[in-house]
Chains A and B, each alone.
Chain A
Amino acid sequence: MCVAAPMKVIEIDGDNIRAELGGVTKDARLDVIDQRPELGDYVIIHAGFALHRIDPEEAKITLGLWKEMGVIDEVPE
């Protein structure tokens, strides 16, 4: 029940959004999110609420760390 997953925002209507990942869509509310998303952003959805707008730059910075460790050859664009 605790599972939360990143999904892509495909519709925004006031405080309600619809999000999608791998063909699954879910509706969620924005009441407790930290930063309002825009269409195309990824958000973490848990129990019908979006909790967080994912920062794609951070995902890339982490890949940069892997490169330094020699785990990945190139950070993809």
Chain B
Amino acid sequence: MKYLSEYRDSSLALKMADRIRGISKKPARFMEICGTHTVAIFKNGIRKVLPQHIELVSGPGCPVCVTANRDIDKAIKIARIPDVIVTTFGDMIRVPGSESSLKHEKSLGADVRMVYSTMDALEVARQNPDKKVVFLGIGFETTAPTIAAAVVAAEAEGIQNFLVLSSHKLLPPAMDALLSGGELDVSGFICPGHVSTVIGTAPYEVVVSQYKTPCVVVGFEPLDILQGIYMLASQIEAGEAKVEIQYTRSVSPEGNQNAMNTMFRVFEPCDAPWRGLGVIPKSGLALREAYRAFDADALFDVDVPDSSEPPGCKCGEVLRGVSTPIDCKLFRKLCTQDNPVGPCMVSSEGTCAAYYRYHV
């Protein structure tokens, strides 16, 4: 991309870090919501170039990590039904549920397939007309429109054996839940660049007016992140709380209306369980009545018993930003990237995996 080298230039990054040091005096704690930010921050050594009084904390923005065990248990149960093919995104297959994982079920003979896109899942449905092809849909507002587009395409083409098990989540209600819980102590949010490309900035206005917490929508290159932190620090110094966009080449205040319309044509908000955060009102997406024919939940109606979390795993607290992986007794000992105990270590965007790979 034109200018990409500038956004990655390490000498410019050091200058930007200098500017942060120049303006920032007050202690601050910023939460990056998005897992892709967590990885980018570690990979580029951003924490190391910040002044000591600016702390970064990871939030609940890894879709694999926040998927509740109950939803994984449900997918596992559906995978055990004869003539069902379960498809989903890569990391999800390895995440342990209460007593098994999709990967384990696959080794026992279930037909579980990893796909890159829902269009690939739709192709599996086309090629296996005598099977039910269930897509375990996870992800936030970036991903949900793509799942919705596949449902619309399936409807248009008359594909009847494609189903979605929707575990999609909306991020702004989670931010609200974190702040209203009173447990979280952050002075600003590094808001997710690609979720915001879809939703725009209106949802953050609510956060700003209700909790007086600054929100800056930030891109994913090193200079994007540092400039975003500069903007947050400037607001803190000025005693302000407002919504700003650093990532203007991708994000507009109104977002992507086409993607939003597609998403809300197929889905409607519903209460949803999050790992570590419990049930958050209107934070999930369920298929609308008109699309019930594509709803795996409605067709299979599987009942799962109460789920259990891996003993000792602190993923819930890590996702709420109240613990770091270092606080977990299993980290690097029983829980490693080769033998992950919880989803925050399984997922490539998980906070535990980022600490494992990059934190010394």
Enumerate chain A interface residues (CB-CB to B < 8 A): 1-4, 6, 8, 21, 29, 31-34, 42, 44, 46-49, 51-52, 54-56, 58-63, 65-66, 69-72, 76
Contact of A32 (CB < 8 Å), options: B19, B146, B194, B348:
B146
CB distance from A57 to the nearest CB of B (A): 8
Task: Using known A-B contacts A49-B146, A58-B248, determine if residue A2 contacts B197 with beta carbons closer than 8 Å.
Answer: no
Once A1-B92, A34-B256, A62-B248 are accepted as A-B contacts, the answer to whether A48 and B143 lie under 8 Å apart by CB is no
Contact: B250 with A2, CB < 8 Å? no
Interface string of B1-26 (1 = CB under 8 A from A): 11110110000100110010000000
Using CB atoms and an 8 Å cutoff, list the residues of chain B in contact with chain A.
Answer: 1-4, 6-7, 12, 15-16, 19, 34-36, 61-64, 89-92, 116-120, 138-140, 142-143, 145-146, 148-149, 152-153, 194, 197-198, 223, 227, 230, 246, 248-250, 256-259, 262, 347-349
Q: A21-B1, A33-B258, A52-B256 are in contact. List 7 more A-B contacts (CB 8 A).
A: A3-B349, A31-B153, A52-B250, A62-B227, A66-B12, A71-B15, A71-B19
Q: In chain A, what residue has the closest Cβ to B248?
A: A58
Asked if A51 contacts B197 (CB within 8 A), the reply is: yes
Q: Which residues of B contact A29 (CB under 8 A)?
A: 119, 149
Q: Give, as a whole number of angstroms, the nearest-CB distance from A68 to chain B.
A: 11
User: In the complex, A48 Cα to B249 Cα: how many Å?
Assistant: 21
Complex CA distance for A49 and B3, rounded to whole angstroms: 24
Shortest Cβ gap from B34 to chain A (Å): 7
Q: Are A47 and B118 in contact (CB under 8 A)?
A: yes
Q: A65 contacts which chain B residues (CB < 8 A)?
A: 227
Question: B249 to A59, Cβ gap below 8 A?
Answer: yes
A2:B349 contact, CB within 8 angstroms: yes
**Known contacts A4-B194, A76-B6, A54 near B146 by CB under 8 Å:** no
User: In the complex, A55→B143 CA distance in Å?
Assistant: 21
CB–CB A4/B142 < 8 A: yes
A-B contact pairs, 28 of them (CB 8 A): A1-B63, A1-B92, A1-B349, A2-B63, A2-B142, A2-B143, A2-B194, A2-B349, A29-B119, A31-B153, A32-B258, A34-B257, A34-B258, A46-B146, A47-B118, A48-B117, A48-B120, A49-B149, A51-B256, A54-B249, A56-B2, A58-B249, A61-B248, A62-B249, A63-B3, A66-B12, A69-B19, A71-B19
Report B94 CB to chain A, min CB distance, Å: 12
Whether B248 contacts A51 by the Cβ 8 Å rule is no
Which residues of B are found within 8 Å of A1, using beta-carbon distances?
63-64, 89-92, 138-139, 143, 347-349
Contact in complex: A48, B119 (CB < 8 Å): yes
* Other-chain residue from A33, A44, A52, A59 in contact with B2 (beta carbon distance below 8 A): A59
Count chain A CB atoms within 10 A of each CB in B3, B34, B146, B248 and give the residue with the most: B146
Are the CB atoms of B145 and A49 closer together than 8 Å?
yes
Q: Which residue of A lies closest to B90 (CB)?
A: A1
Contact for B3 among A32, A52, A69, A76, CB less than 8 A = A76
